[in-house]
Amino acid sequence: MVSCYRVQLRSFLPMPMRPILGAQLRRIHSVVAATVTDKEVVLYYKGILDMRAISRFIRQFEDKRGVKKENRDALDASVYRREAILSVGGFILMNILRKTNPGFYDSVLLARRLFTLFIARRFIRNGIMGLLEDRRANADTLTATAVIASVLSGKPESSLTLLALSNGAEMLTEYAAEKARSQISGLLKLDQRDVWIIENGKERKVPVESLKPGDYIAVHLGEKICVDGKVVSGNAAVNQASITGESNPAIKQQGSAVYAGSVIEAGDLVILVEKVGDDTSLAQIIHLVEEAQTRRAPVQNFADKMANMLVPVSFIGAAIVYGATKDWQRVLNLLFIDFSCGLKLSTATAISAAIGVAAKQGILIKGGNYIENLSSIDTVVLDKTGTITIGVPQISHIETAKGISDKELILLAASAEMHSVHPLAVAIQKYVRDNKWETPPHETSSTVVARGMKATVPPFETYSGGDVLVGSRRFMEEEGVDNVPVTVPATWGKNILFVAKNREYIGFLTIQDPVRPGMKKTLNRMRRIGVDEVIMLTGDSKEVAADVAHAMDIDGYHAEILPEDKANYVMELQQRGNVMMVGDGINDAPALAFADIGVSLGGQKTDIAAESAAITIRSEDPDKLFDALQIGRQTMRVINQNFTATILVNSTAMLLGALGRISPLWAAVIHNTATLAVVLNSVRILGPGINIFR
């Protein structure tokens, strides 16, 4: 039974902090789901939950990441706008007063000073708190020092314009960042309030929240599926891009799996509800994306350290300039220019945008640290079955003896293999179903270990039955079957099943696991962007592995290996490069965990493979592997651009300011414009056509 626990928030949590708190709470063993709003935290849990410990954890998070509710407006873009207007208005009023009534202007120096300090109160408060709590100066410390210096020099109005620019820039930066966050959250939004439930053969509209596993719902053209389930009846073309990232609709019919967030573009479906709410695939994706925001990339930590180191440089530079020139205008130039904002935003906004756009494409990256790793991958290791191949054996060739039809051969083999779960037997049974044939029953059937199947099949349709043998050539020879082909060159590297009736050879089947469509193209595209080596690891036979490796132009392969061998090979490759391991099964889990980047590919992956992987791709499209590498490389290019622009622009502005070639006004304009440009450049990762100011 799932219980609910609510905790009212005492402080205001900024928007970016809410998913972080939610992700941390969901790591607690008993917690099933967690949502964080501006007012409260709602926990859904099973079993026993330590309420006091939970409340204490939330309070500690509030104390560290939140602000008092009375200070909430300090984080609102509209407040930045108000402060900017007050600054500009005060500056204009003071200058008008200075020109029209100089005497009165001089007499209200104290009022001018107090007004300036009021406008700068947020910068002063944050600057002082940085010194007291973190024991180091921050960007706001620089701004506060500049304002106080202008006030003490008797020209408080000179800093008003600078404050207006700072508030204006922060307003635009916050607005852009919030729009970017909205774009990301909107990618995965369910936005479906009601659903048609089927009761006693009739449809009735009910809230989505009232659904439970075992219910039957109807979903019609244009409606969004809000549960995970299985199609009971109907046919439809379903857009499931929110789950798999694939733009082409998937055809769903009886027995097909469907996922929350998918949209019916043609047809209608009746669905058996299996998962609802936070148990759905869409909810899990959202939780993964939210949690990913909490895992920082090394480049983020580097940017923060570098930013903190450069703040004292501005103070030292200002002190040197004052000592050499005694010019307060030049000092203000250096104090109003800092590297902190640009460097920190250059990484945080880019990483956040990358995780969001990857999720839109069906690529779930579990942390910003993996974004950075993706950019340096030069070796790709792939499992064969279920990764390079589709993981579903199929009949690829049928050859019959004289007088025997394909249908007779297949149905005799299918009858013998009717109750077998061997992959080769499954391939035969699938072929029968796909052709809408009916498998004839057998009278007896038995398995001969490592050889094949024996069965007695009575006459069926227009065909005579008999004693049927299905298996290897060796099996045929042991059973005294004559005329079995000795070599079949066209089937080298494939699984061959020979079929005999009444000890007479009647034909053979070749069964193979087809290569994923587009896999070879994907590997070639990877090579063009910097992947030097592609290796295949498989537990399959050397003959089959050689066949696949040759077809894919793979650089090297290792066959007939155990799961632990895969992990060892990955670690060996890491000695000379950065390795991305791609797999889908339990046997791939150790290698996925040891690789620099582990990728779980495909919707049929095992849970343990997905858990071990740094990246989960729900699509069967191998091109998503290339997309993941591209996202990593593009993100790091953007971050490097941001780094370069921030350092070059601000350094140039500081130099010009120290030389007295620009005024404090223009120093502030250059600095704040550079910071805003960093945010806008990062938002480009979200893709073409995204207008954050719309």
Which residues are identified as catalytic? 383
| Residue located via tokens 């640009």 | 342
How would you classify the pairing of strands 31-36 and 11-12?
A: unpaired
Quick one: which H or E segment has residue 507?
Answer: strand 504-512
Token couple for 289 = 């994306």
Sheet containing strand 495-501, edge to edge, reads 394-400, 504-512, 495-501, 466-471, 452-457, 444-448
* DSSP letters spanning 309-331: HHHHHHHHHHHHHHHHH--HHHH
Quick one: which H or E segment has residue 607?
Answer: helix 607-612
Do the beta carbons of residue 277 and residue 33 sit within 8 Å?
Answer: yes
How far is 242 from 290, CA to CA, in rounded Å?
Answer: 16
* Amino acid at the residue 103: G
Do the beta carbons of residue 259 and residue 280 sit within 8 Å?
Answer: yes
Residue 220, Cβ neighbours under 10 Å: how many? 13
Coil, strand or helix at 463: strand
State the sign of the Cα–Cα–Cα–Cα dihedral 392, 396, 402, 406. Answer: positive
Coil, strand or helix at 120: coil
How far is 322 from 271, CA to CA, in rounded Å?
Answer: 75
Q: Counting runs of H as helices and runs of E as strands, what totals does the chain give?
A: 24, 25
557 phi and psi, to 5 degrees? -150, 160
Do the beta carbons of residue 321 and residue 327 sit within 8 Å?
Answer: yes
Nearest to 638 by CA among 292, 372, 377: 372
Do the beta carbons of residue 425 and residue 410 sit within 8 Å?
Answer: no
* DSSP letters spanning 222-280: TPBP-SEEEEEEEEEEEE-HHHH---SPEEE-TT-EE-TT-EEEEEEEEEEEEE-GGGS
How far is 48 from 58, CA to CA, in rounded Å?
Answer: 18
Helices 139-152 & 328-335, crossing angle to 10 degrees? 160
Q: What is the DSSP letter of 293?
A: T
Do the beta carbons of residue 291 and residue 364 sit within 8 Å?
Answer: no
Do the beta carbons of residue 538 and residue 502 sit within 8 Å?
Answer: no
How far is 657 from 327, CA to CA, in rounded Å?
Answer: 11
558 alpha-carbon distance from chain centroid: 31
Nearest to 373 by CA among 577, 115, 554: 577
Residue 95, Cβ neighbours under 10 Å: how many? 13
How far is 298 from 300, CA to CA, in rounded Å?
Answer: 5
* 398: Cβ contacts below 8 Å, ≥ 6 apart: 406, 409, 410, 507, 508, 509, 510
Residue 426, Cβ neighbours under 10 Å: how many? 16
Residue 319, Cβ neighbours under 10 Å: how many? 12
- Looking from the CA of 405 toward its CB, the CA atoms found within 13 Å total 6
* 297: Cβ contacts below 8 Å, ≥ 6 apart: 347, 351, 367, 368, 369, 371, 372
